[in-house]
Amino acid sequence: MRKWWWLLIIPVFAVMAIILPREKRPEMVPGESTVQAQEINPYTIEGMKARTYDSEISRENRVRETASFTSFKISFESDGLKQYALMNLPKGTPPEGGWPVVVVNHGYIEPAVYSTENSYINTSAYFADAGFLVVKPDYRGHDNSDGEAEGLLSRISYAVDVLNLLAGIRKLPEANEKQIFMYGHSMGGDVTLRVLEICPDCAAAATLWAPAVTEFPETFMYFARRGNIADPTRTARLERRQRELAENFKPEEYSQVSSLANTALVKVSLNIQHGTADESVPFEWGMALAARFEKKGVEHNFYSYIGDNHDIAGNWGTALGRDFGLFRSVTGS
């Protein structure tokens, strides 16, 4: 009898197998992973790559006229915000394919002080005199452009404004969409680099003057810390930046937001131009960016100007001439 006892247990297990619920496995779809896709922070480079950019450019009014170009105030839309820009349109017959374009991304000026019509007027005129169609965007919250200018997310979103503008420029009949270049000064250097990383094909070459580019969030916190320690506005500014940082980014996302950390995405040639006596953006930042480009195999030229300031005022013509040479090497004229 002892050797047959296990035959009596078999029916019991069979009944239990029928009655007890089985663990339900997730259904597999061919090619689909069971790992849940993590939500991408929309302010990372990857998150901004996933967006669609578009705009239509409208002429608002004529601003001024010179012997070589006519200036217009233009408008376009970005994130539902009406934005303004200055456009210098060369006179004469455009070359085949349209005028080559330079987008001038300005550096920090108090948003209420910045002027669509007058800020960075000399740089914009230089390129227009040289036969480029020039467009200088405000960025949101500057002068009469809609939106907030000073927030951390707004600063990152200046690149969105430029990307939407670029989409509109490519539709202009006067513009050569294959010969679009960018100039970025100081804060505009970070904007320009971010645009090149989000959309590597959006420009044919670029120049970065005294680029305010370092690791995130130091890019923003460095300027928030500046000023008199006893100044209450400095304390409030720092607290706001720290609060915005904590509310919108996890530490593990910092490298995904950083324009310095994503330089390998850049596919065009660049100039980096920096004065050694710059008191606004550390000269070391320009050197570090050049070293990063070198490490990542990004084609670039690094020009330093001994004793020159943030605006490279003592070598302004020389520096712009080098940019003109870079851009013309691409246009072939």
Q: What is the pLDDT of residues 193-245, one digit of tens each?
A: 999 999 999 999 999 999 999 999 999 999 999 877 778 888 888 999 999 99
Q: What is the pLDDT of residues 302-320, one digit of tens each?
A: 999 999 999 999 999 999 9
Q: What are phi and psi of 262, to 5 degrees?
A: -115, 25
pLDDT at 6: 39
Confidence of residue 128 (pLDDT cuts 50, 70, 90): very high
Top pLDDT among 30 and 62 is at 62
Q: Is the pLDDT of residue 31 over 60?
A: no
Q: Beta 133-137 vs 175-185: how paired, if at all?
A: unpaired
Q: What is the pLDDT of residues 143-202, one digit of tens each?
A: 999 999 989 999 999 999 999 999 999 999 999 999 999 999 999 999 999 999 999 999
Confidence of residue 289 (pLDDT cuts 50, 70, 90): very high
Structure tokens at 279: 């008191």
Q: What is the model's pTM?
A: 0.88
Euclidean distance between CA atoms 217 and 119, whole angstroms? 27
User: What is the rounded average pLDDT of the residues 298-305?
Assistant: 98
> Where do the domains of the chain lie, and which CATH numbers do they carry?
59-215+258-331 (3.40.50.1820)
Give CA 184 to chain center in angstroms: 10
Cα–Cα distance list, 73 to 9, 52, 125, 255, 326 (Å): 90, 25, 14, 37, 28
Euclidean distance between CA atoms 78 and 88, whole angstroms? 21
Instruction: Tell me the one-letter amino acid at 75.
Output: S
Exposed, middle or buried by CB within 10 Å (0-12, 13-18, 19+), for 18? exposed
Asked if residues 154 and 148 have their Cβ atoms less than 8 Å apart, the reply is yes
pLDDT at 226: 85
Asked if residues 103 and 166 have their Cβ atoms less than 8 Å apart, the reply is yes
Structure tokens at 230: 């006893």
How many percent of the chain have pLDDT more than 90? 83
Strand-pair partners of 86: 73, 136
Give the DSSP H or E segment for 208: strand 205-209
